[in-house]
């Protein structure tokens, strides 16, 4: 079901990200441990998103390779990450946080370059 349609996996993952971003937190938190776990979660979910977007672009667009796939992946995920942070500002006890956005961007860049490396190894 998903192997032939890589964009379905991307859209499912985007839905999961939005679902978790839409869950109101029942209490405001500033605990250092939760803060660290939150940043790791942001990094990880956007690393996965970037990997999936890279795969979808690589699989579905012929003639576009290399740096353009990286640029499109990073740009698209960067925009989505910013919109997701804006979306969180409307959720109870959530807010837009520049550090969450930085974690998103770090995950996007990491996931993009990991995917590039994986696909470079497969092409050889």
pLDDT digits (tens, 9 = 90+) for 9-19: 999 999 999 99
Q: Per the domain annotation, does 53 fall within a domain? A: yes
Contact 88, 21 (CB under 8 A): yes
Q: Per the domain annotation, does 12 fall within a domain? A: yes
pLDDT digits (tens, 9 = 90+) for 20-35: 989 887 655 555 555 6
pLDDT digits (tens, 9 = 90+) for 73-104: 999 999 999 999 999 888 887 788 899 999 99
Take residue 14 and report the two structure tokens written for it. Answer: 């985007």
Q: What is the pLDDT of residue 30?
A: 56
Taking Cα atoms as reference points, which of 112, 123, 104 lies closest to residue 39?
A: 104
Give the range of the structural domain holding residue 17, as residue numbers without chain letter.
6-123
Contact 92, 25 (CB under 8 A): yes
Q: What is the pLDDT of residue 36?
A: 73
Q: Per the domain annotation, does 1 fall within a domain? A: no
Q: Is 7 a residue whose pLDDT tops 70?
A: yes
Q: Is 8 a residue whose pLDDT tops 90?
A: yes
Q: Per the domain annotation, does 68 fall within a domain? A: yes
Residues in the chain, total: 124
The overall pTM is greater than 0.75: yes
Our count of domains for the chain comes to 1
Q: Per the domain annotation, does 11 fall within a domain? A: yes
pLDDT (mean) for 43-72 = 91
pLDDT (mean) for 35-50 = 90
User: Which has more confidence, 31 or 70?
Assistant: 70
62 — pLDDT class (breaks 50, 70, 90): confident
């Amino acid at each position: 079901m998903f192997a032939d349609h890589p964009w379905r996996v991307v859209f499912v993952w985007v839905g999961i990200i939005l679902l978790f971003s839409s869950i109101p937190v029942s209490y405001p938190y500033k605990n250092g441990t939760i803060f660290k776990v939150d940043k790791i979660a942001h990094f990880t979910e956007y690393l996965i998103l970037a990997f999936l977007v890279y795969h979808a672009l690589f699989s579905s667009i012929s003639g576009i390779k290399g740096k353009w796939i990286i640029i499109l992946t990073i740009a698209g995920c960067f925009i989505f990450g910013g919109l997701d942070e804006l979306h969180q500002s409307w959720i109870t006890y959530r807010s837009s946080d520049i550090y969450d956005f930085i974690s998103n961007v770090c995950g996007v860049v990491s996931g993009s370059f990991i995917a590039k490396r994986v696909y470079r190894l497969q092409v050889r």
